[in-house]
Chains A and B, each alone.
Chain A
């Protein structure tokens, strides 16, 4: 099999990438490892999706449905239950070995590759939870899958560790499904998810939130019987004497998401350690020509509409690449003072670009500056920035010949 553009992953990023590549005139093959397209949206049955892209508040499955209809209307081929077994480059083409139940193992050659593989959850092991190993410890996303896709209840008395968005959404979901959520424990001094979710999921349902505290131990030989929680000091280590035991049958973890790029790593592309994803330019092209990344595989977005936008950008640039109409970004974008990160990390001059960034901490009345050498290119004021809330910024085309632009946040002088 041969194709111009091969898209891996049929979540919102992959679906819009496939659509855009098709609209750009390229032949497209879209593969998805699950039996249904839609990615993580399939299990996000709450609303709040699509305000930007579809101008209305949709649930996750509705949003995915809209995307899928568009893809279907253009007869784009989707191979489901399809896994990538191997990925190599040869003569500047992408050689993939795929497997599914219908075709067995088969090779595909693609001129351009879009990786829209989403992200995975950090596990209890990665946050170094200790104690017993009973049943009843779930990541919030797995619990969401069990409840929303299968109708299974993973527990009746739950403690949530971590205040990520999925954790807060699941705290509400479990409450609605008849389980008791005893509290959300967050090691940091503020929630790590969106303010919207804090209000709508925890406060509206009277679910207690405990900041500066964590779960130090799990108890139970077979099923979870309880957890020990404790307050933590500034270095996040538990404070002696603050431990207390909470009887429960389930521990849910919402402790972070990791962009999933394991299949790309053998190609030797440059990664950004602060996003966990590949380094890309504003066309979403990685440091390997013809290889694009979008959606949560690039960095973890907070809004699906922006995921789709990145997918569309990647898809149309991938189609352009097949027509030899795509150059690699060389201007470095540096996340300077008070920034957690900025994406893209490279820019092609002479083109518009959308830049996403997160602040390193919660800041009020700040000024974002984009500088090239001594010259300030853009200034923008923000009343409040929080790390969980991603900011989107449109940059004017840059002149050729620049080496580097720096984004930084400065606390504005407060008017006395």
Chain B
């Protein structure tokens, strides 16, 4: 690799970074030194790609940039998991970790999933577009393409088994120039090579027939029928619940802080709740997956977060659009899917996302500028939409590597570590397939040491609570007659009943905070943003989990909603 290092050195010099020091470590190129700003950090990282190394470890510091950024950590510290033993420990409760837990639960294994937050799907897996991409915008030959295509094909079955909603509205990649229609045959050929079916080129007239509100400057579109939509947090919950029902254990508020290494093996997983003995560790830590690799001395890649801001529109806009609308990305060099307008499974329209590099991994703040970008760039695709229709907005960060591809493989140097890392977009679409492969890799490693049998009690179907809104009239009335709380609606915008909130609180994966209930039952997700249902939901949680109202949180401990009773301080002072 000496020659490779020379070439990287040359490239970095020509980009203006002569100060960057290079070395090779276990097949990866390591960058060190200091640069002026984050753009330079990125430029140097990208400059080192493509010279035959396994990956780029970018340890360059940025002058003036503080090293530690916002990161939520669990407040608890105890020894409740100390000395516990598991065959597999999965780090991270996003869609990837939860899908892996479920696939692994087909085997007779003791499985633990560790998540540092108080609930699963709090990071990227609830901060995305919820689109099952058709594997068109990904490079042929990449892992992204491989898993996206396979994952896409698996979704119907997974949705049937796990009982989450899935629709295939199809998508239009819109063309603003008439001549772009001439690229049709090329696009179709590329689609065929990538394994897509039914891709068509539509004229403006055809597009207008399908979507009467289409923006005036759109001249035509590529149509991709294999584009689907799901509620990503519900998919994650569904995977997690089925995993639990098949014997896996999920531990929230549990953060992996390091590993106890024995030679080239991980012997123990250090957490804020003690050291866990692990037969094998799966790294599914999303935006922090490079740090987990580092803890095992196996970092050969770098995650650099790419933030995406998303806005949600009022449900009354939903009838104005049928398909997923986006602009065709014809230069092929852009690192994003471009964003656009996505109809959502729950009946809203989603605008975005944006794509901006940021050094801060868990910075989910939004700004007026980003909202303006969404308004100006995406809203005009559908003429029926206006800024007044925005009911909320939020941000997520994609776990990008400099190689811009997924990492799904056994560690080359640590015997019992498997990485599912750098899972940026289209990670949601790819999750079912990634989980199957990670499971195969993990089981083959474990089989070297012991005989692994199938889980005799595995049930692929998730057992779930009734959803009155989806029942026919008679069934719904039978349900309400048996339990009137399914007839008492407490969320006026999303028509969620008290019974559904109670079910979410006592579900396989219990939801005990305002936001966790929002992700399960949708109470508070509508146009009034919880203005109406918050008092009711607070009271129901407090009643059902038997805790004082002042202990009920919006999210994790520390985010209490109610600080006391009226006049409590005054009363206490008077009584003293």
Interface residues of chain A, those whose CB is within 8 Å of chain B, are 33, 81, 83, 85, 99-105, 120-121, 123-126, 128, 130-136, 138-139, 141-142, 145-147, 149-156, 177-178, 221-223, 249, 262, 265
Contact = CB atoms under 8 A, between A and B. Distances in A.
Contacts of B316: 262, 265
A141 B70 CA distance: 32
Given A105-B477, A151-B565, A145 B487 contact: no
Contacts of B514: 135
A152 B536 CA distance: 12
Nearest to B371: A128
A33 B561 contact: no
Contact of B528 (A120, A133, A135, A150): A120
Given A135-B554, A142-B534, A178 B391 contact: no
Q: Place the interface of chain B in its size category.
A: 35 or more
Contact of A142 (B391, B486, B535): B535
Given A99-B487, A125-B529, A222-B559, A152 B554 contact: no
B449 interface: no
A150 B535 contact: yes
Contacts of B405: none
Interface of B: 70, 72, 316, 364-368, 371, 390-394, 473, 476-477, 480-481, 484-489, 492, 495, 514, 527-532, 534-535, 538-539, 549, 553-570
B390 A177 contact: no
Contacts of B555: 135, 222
Contacts of B477: 104-105
A409 to B, nearest CB: 27
B558 A223 contact: yes
Nearest to B311: A125
A222 B118 CA distance: 12
Given A125-B390, A221-B70, A155 B563 contact: yes
A81 B486 CA distance: 12
B532 A130 contact: no
Contacts of A139: 531
Contacts of A142: 530-532, 534-535
A124 B558 CA distance: 21
Given A100-B487, A222-B556, A178 B535 contact: no
Contacts of B564: 152-153, 156
A329 to B, nearest CB: 27
B449 to A, nearest CB: 42
B368 A128 contact: yes
B493 to A, nearest CB: 8
Given A152-B549, A262-B316, A85 B495 contact: yes
Nearest to A117: B492
A102 B531 contact: no
A265 B488 CA distance: 24
Given A83-B495, A146-B562, A223-B559, A134 B554 contact: yes
Contacts of B529: 123-125
B531 A141 contact: yes
A149 B486 CA distance: 24
A264 to B, nearest CB: 11
Contacts of B553: 135
A152 B559 contact: no
Contacts of B534: 138, 142, 146
A121 B559 contact: no
B561 A101 contact: no
A88 to B, nearest CB: 15
Contacts of A178: 566-570
Given A100-B487, A104-B477, A135-B554, A154 B532 contact: no
Given A135-B561, A178-B569, A123 B531 contact: yes
24 contacts: A83-B492, A83-B495, A99-B480, A99-B489, A100-B488, A101-B480, A104-B481, A121-B531, A124-B529, A125-B390, A125-B391, A130-B368, A135-B561, A136-B561, A141-B531, A142-B532, A142-B535, A152-B535, A152-B538, A155-B563, A177-B567, A221-B70, A221-B72, A249-B563
B535 A145 contact: yes
Contacts of A249: 563
B531 A130 contact: no
Contacts of B365: 130-132
B488 A101 contact: yes
Contacts of B528: 120-121, 123
